[in-house]
Structure 1
């Protein structure tokens, strides 16, 4: 009798969980899976977005592979991985290590200030930084005020420095997110481990490298996944600051897909490029998760 009641309770819990999951799964399928599959389907057509499309098979993918502009956009996206992921994670770890060793009073305000760039819409961020990078913007005004007027320039119009200038905007946006991740992760670290390390004579640097970084492995993996996806799928900041210019110096796959689909009327090629980009992001995420997986 007791076994029957337990089985019935398990069935009720399973039914209740299924009832709650169905709407979420339905929304995910409707707004994520279906558009993805439809994009992949359109990638096999030569379509301008208005007139009926023509089946072309894999020709759009062949064009994607042969397109030198796409290869350049992927290189720019790889550079963005440095600014959107590697630098924010490194800076976030350092900030988390410093804040985690200090007093806890005022942590809420500090986290809010650090996380603030994540709250601001990326289009607004791009517009604000475009003004700051202008010839008479904040960046050049500060440089001239400290006697470095010879360094001042129209940063977003410089063929050499436009890409790193936009990348630094991504660093500013992502650093707060990474820092908050790592601060939250540090709360699970047993305080006795820090005390034992200090008794063994470990300094701040050794404690950071030997204790904090290894114990935040999972948080680093999550932060790297989110930031790498943001780098490879970047669009808002680039479009609002440079539009992919000067020339094609800051063109990334997202901007190129937008141009092909909405400006040049090559929807099939744009869908093929979007499908390739999605597959690339998926492969990178799998690699990150495997590397971050704890050894048995």
Structure 2
């Protein structure tokens, strides 16, 4: 399940709770498009703003609506004890895999991060994807640490934050990491603006924010890249540069939540406080961008 497009949908949530109907509708869009896997409760899924019971509620909805498409869910938490409890919940809810980032209030050492993954993988009966997300965790994995962790049981993928923008430099980056991890562990790129560059450089998966909202467009890009049609994939990504620019400026969560609201897929407000939506002028700009994306989406 750690190959192709893994689409990460929003979890529509505000101070009144989780909108279950809207969430299920988002999952059903992914099913209809035929994504390779679904990433429930990723960063875009607002996992960090939900308690354990809410996370279990959302995961049950995702698994129950996925119609057999594998569902991966985040088990990231501050304490190892809570990570282990979330891992148990994930397995009971029928998740096909778990996603774990080393989140912490205190800065973690390499050994503390290794011991986290070692302890968690001992309790798992399903695969684990390592989430390398330094912007959020402020922890920077070395390739050597990735290599150690990739040798642990149940580790099957590494979700890297991006690649160098130059194609040759990206290939060197992926080749260096690939040389240090087992062949059964895939490498997936997660920063959407770098997705095509990463796939063309040798990544086997795209862990996608935009794919959670516009799966057909992102599937098209993924298929082109994995089928060695690099130029076709790059052309679509270049056409999406306006939304990539908004991602870089405002963060992908705020942009995608606004895009889902504008598209009529979810109601407003759809973010938990203290997060605030995009201002009206940015939303107007986003509306014009979405018209072009919708054209690509409908042509697939």
- The two structures share one fold, judged by TM-score above 0.5: no
TM-score by length of 1: 0.21
TM-score by length of 2: 0.21
**More contact order relative to length (CA 8 Å, sep ≥ 6):** 1
More helix by share: 1
